[in-house]
Structures are given as structure tokens and as C-alpha cells.
Structure 1
């Protein structure tokens, strides 16, 4: 099973990325409403990030890559970024896994937000793979 969402071309993937970025902005405020409950149910310890901090880090990384594509249509070092994204855990992070599979009715907005972050990750991976194929074709043509 592949970890990518196959789209026809990088432009189509870029449009999808822009839509998901807009949805994340809207979802972010909804997710914020659940933070007090999350912090109560999943208190931070001194050795690791809290659940909310983990989500914030993912948000910063994924939206950062998405915004690079949105505003410049490019990302520096395609190979490194692709490797980083493929190895970026979302639900593989123990604290996020625990939150996501906890009582389903307790954090619906946060779960939706995590799903959207995960979808953005796969769109970014697909865009990068398409961009790398395009770059390889351009190099062969010259």
C-alpha cells in the first residue's frame, strides 16, 4: 500500500494543498477549544512534549512546507524534504496515538485536525514526488 495520494500533476496537488491549508486555518480555532480538556486528560511530563506541543510542532512543519509550495511553487532540497516528510510521525507518535484512539467523543475537533494534518502530509509527499519526476525529466531533456 502506497503512502501517497496520486494526482495527475504537481499543479493539481498544489491546488489541493492550498485548499487543505485554508481548512487547517479554520480548524485550528476549533481545535483550540479542546486544549484545556486535552491538557487535563494528557498532562505533560518533564521528559517529552505535551500532546498540544506535539500538534503545534506538526502544524508548524506541515504548514511551513505547504506555504512554501503555495507562495513560491517550490521547496528547497526536494530529496531531504521528502525523506523528512516520509519519516514524520503523526499518529505514530505515542502521545498522539493515545489521544486519537481515546474516547472518540471527547476530542472530535482535535481528531479532525490531526486527520487533516495527515492528509496535508500525504499531499506534500505526492507533490514532492511529482516535482522530482518533473525535475528528472527536465535534466534528461537538456
Structure 2
């Protein structure tokens, strides 16, 4: 890899680590809204509830980000890239319904969802540096 690409890759890793820290804080800050969602949103006919979908995204994305933070790479990188490409946060029906259907409410959780999606995109970019160069 050229020095410029290495610098870009390292900058992307720095962004991932910074965003991971922000996500950890944001996760603590959404607890009140999570309780409101449990009380106000009935489970849909989807396989997973809204909060379960958010938890699945959180565990998957933070897991990959923690690997990048700790070692600079991800175990089973090809499989991870495929999974990151397949995850389309705003194509998950229960998330779309919540995000666009709760006008002006639950802004912290909406922000958290956006942060997770941005983390996904940053990790894809980070992993693609290796394949391109």
C-alpha cells in the first residue's frame, strides 16, 4: 500500500475508534427513550422488535469496530465485508417504520441509529482499502 493510502486508512481507523466511543456514550443516553418505546410500541409482525433490531445492529457493528480498534483487522474479513454490505439499516422495515413514523419523537434513538449506519459505512471503507491496494 502506498503511504497516502496507509494515511487514509489510519485516518479512517481513527474515525471508527472515535465514533465507537461516541456510540458507547449514546447507548447509555438512549435508555429513557428505550423504556418509552417498550411502553408505547407494540411488537410488529416482524421477526424482531425495534429494540431487538437495534441490539442486533449494535452487537454486530460494535464487535467489528472493537476488532479494528484492538488489532487493525477483522477475523473473517471477507465474510464481515459481505455482512456489512448486506446490512441496510434503512431497509429494515421496523426501523424504517419507527424512524419515519415517529415525527419529532425519540431523536436520541434516531441519532443512535444514524451513528450505527455511519459506523457500518466507515468500516466498509476501512476494509476496502486493503482489497483495492
CA shift at 1:40, angstroms? 3.0
Q: Which residue matches 2:115?
A: 116
CA shift at 1:77, angstroms? 2.5
Q: Which residue matches 1:10?
A: 9
Q: Which residue matches 2:19?
A: 20
Native 8 Å contact 2:44 2:94 kept in 1: no
1:64-115 alpha-carbon deviations (Å, 9 max, x no partner): 0000000011112222211110001211100000111023321100000000
Structure 1 unmatched ranges of 5 or more: 1-7, 135-142
CA shift at 1:50, angstroms? 1.1
What does residue range 46-125 of structure 1 map to in structure 2 within 5 Å?
48-125=47-124
Q: Which residue matches 1:36?
A: 35
Aligned residues between the structures: 128
Structure 2 unmatched ranges of 5 or more: 1-6
Structure richer in helix, relative to its length: 2
With the length of structure 2 as denominator, give the TM-score of the two structures: 0.88
CA shift at 1:46, angstroms? 7.2
Q: Which residue matches 2:131?
A: 132
Native 8 Å contact 1:39 1:51 kept in 2: no
Q: For the structure 1 residues 33 and 20, does the alpha-carbon distance in structure 2 shift closer, same or farther, using more than 3 Å as the test? A: same
